[in-house]
Amino acid sequence: MPYRLPTATWRGLLCRVALLQARADRLGAFSDLVRNDSTAVRGVLGDLHLSATRAGQAASDPAAIIAAEQDWQTKLEQALQTPGLTSDETNLLRDLISRPTTGAPVDPFDALYQGVAKHTAELYGGAWLDTPELSVLPLAAHPRQPPDPYALTAETKRTPSGVVVELLIRPDGLGPATFLTIPMVLTHECVCHVVQLSAGAPVNNQSPFAEGLMDWLSGYHLRRWLPLLCPGMAASAIVHAGLLSAVAVPPGHRRYSPRLVGWTAANELVSQLMNLGVPAAETLVASLALRMNLSRGSGDERDAVVRRIELQRLTIADPTLRSVVLEEADADMLF
Ligand SMILES: [Zn+2]
């Protein structure tokens, strides 16, 4: 049993992943109809959780998945008989019925994590030390506030036995929207935090560099890695990565979020480099973020550079920034 989870919790998570993964290409529509208050589709999402929770009591993992699939198929077929369904609801329910699961990897969370870690290791080269262990933990409550449908969060921690990436999920919140954003949160942890923590640097969740510019870099690579990591759901996972970013900062705290500062700085530089074309401009900004993360600059110094770029006080017209961005000078020149 991985992750020291109670057996029933683990089997319930495995069942949900198996049922969702088999329908990977319809998860965007599934999530959207839930969000748009489709009673029938909300109902089958509730049924999915019931089927998975019930099957969690089964004798083995494969048996649990088969039981959950059979149980859910019955509910899907019943839902399809609901009078007055829209064509979108009918089409989605039919698609969900026609894609029964054939099982799941022994540990689908680690399978995805190892894929993300492999790509991140290629990105960082020699700076990527050992891939940290993944830990999956159940959340007792939603990490933010409903109607946010993303019942997950993640954290990279230094422990006495080394760096650990923790994926925290509310089991009965593991529906289509949450599942679609697992690659994004794992990519954020690997790209933004693992190298820093492995090198002994402190974590600062208020850093516009670590949580903003590096998060932009994480999104830049996520778009490229998703078709390889989870081809069936790549397009929807990109959309939901943006939606989760938008809800991850709760309103009302009267602060300009570090994520927005960093993303704005990145997009500011891309705009200023637009004469090179968007792909080349984005590639240079991605390279800048990565090289800054590997530079000798302190956390405060990196944040100061990001803030100045966001405020347009430091632009590509500055000879030092220009030569660093164009890869003619080392990122250390910025500090
Ligand atoms: Zn973070």
Q: State in Å: Cα 245 to ligand 1 middle.
A: 11
Q: Is there a single domain that holds both residue 58 and residue 25?
A: yes
Q: State in Å: Cα 330 to ligand 1 middle.
A: 25
Give the number of domains in the chain: 3
Boundary (domain end) residue, out of 237, 270, 299: 237
Asked if 44 contacts 96 with a C-beta cutoff of 8 angstroms, the reply is yes
Q: State in Å: Cα 189 to ligand 1 middle.
A: 6
Q: State in Å: Cα 35 to ligand 1 middle.
A: 26
Q: Is there a single domain that holds both residue 320 and residue 293?
A: yes
Q: Can you list the alpha helix ranges (DSSP code H) found in the chain?
A: 7-22, 27-35, 39-55, 61-80, 87-97, 108-124, 176-188, 195-198, 214-229, 234-247, 258-272, 278-293, 299-310, 319-325
Q: State in Å: Cα 210 to ligand 1 middle.
A: 7
Q: Report the pLDDT value the prediction gives residue 252, as an integer from 0 to 100.
A: 67
Q: Report the pLDDT value the prediction gives residue 15, as an integer from 0 to 100.
A: 94
Q: Any idea of the CA torsion for 157, 162, 167, 170, to the nearest 10 degrees?
A: -80
Q: State in Å: Cα 203 to ligand 1 middle.
A: 9
Does residue 102 belong to any structural domain of this protein? Answer: no
Does residue 244 belong to any structural domain of this protein? Answer: no
Q: State in Å: Cα 198 to ligand 1 middle.
A: 15
Q: State in Å: Cα 302 to ligand 1 middle.
A: 15
Q: For the chain, how big is the Rg over CA atoms in Å?
A: 22
Q: Report the pLDDT value the prediction gives residue 108, as an integer from 0 to 100.
A: 94
Look at residues 14, 323, 91 and name the one whose alpha carbon lies nearest to residue 334.
323
Q: Is there a single domain that holds both residue 222 and residue 122?
A: yes
Residue type, 313: R
Q: State in Å: Cα 195 to ligand 1 middle.
A: 12
Boundary (domain end) residue, out of 97, 120, 139: 97
Does residue 103 belong to any structural domain of this protein? Answer: no
Q: State in Å: Cα 259 to ligand 1 middle.
A: 9
Q: Is there a single domain that holds both residue 63 and residue 148?
A: no
Q: State in Å: Cα 186 to ligand 1 middle.
A: 10
The separation between the first and the last C-alpha atoms of the chain, rounded to the nearest angstrom, is 48
Q: State in Å: Cα 335 to ligand 1 middle.
A: 23
Which residue numbers in the chain have pLDDT < 50? Answer: none
Q: Is there a single domain that holds both residue 198 and residue 114?
A: yes
Q: State in Å: Cα 124 to ligand 1 middle.
A: 17
Q: State in Å: Cα 280 to ligand 1 middle.
A: 26
Provide the residue range defining the domain that includes 117: 108-237
Judged on CB neighbours under 10 Å (0-12, 13-18, 19+), 251 is: exposed
Boundary (domain end) residue, out of 177, 203, 237: 237
Whether pTM exceeds 0.75: yes
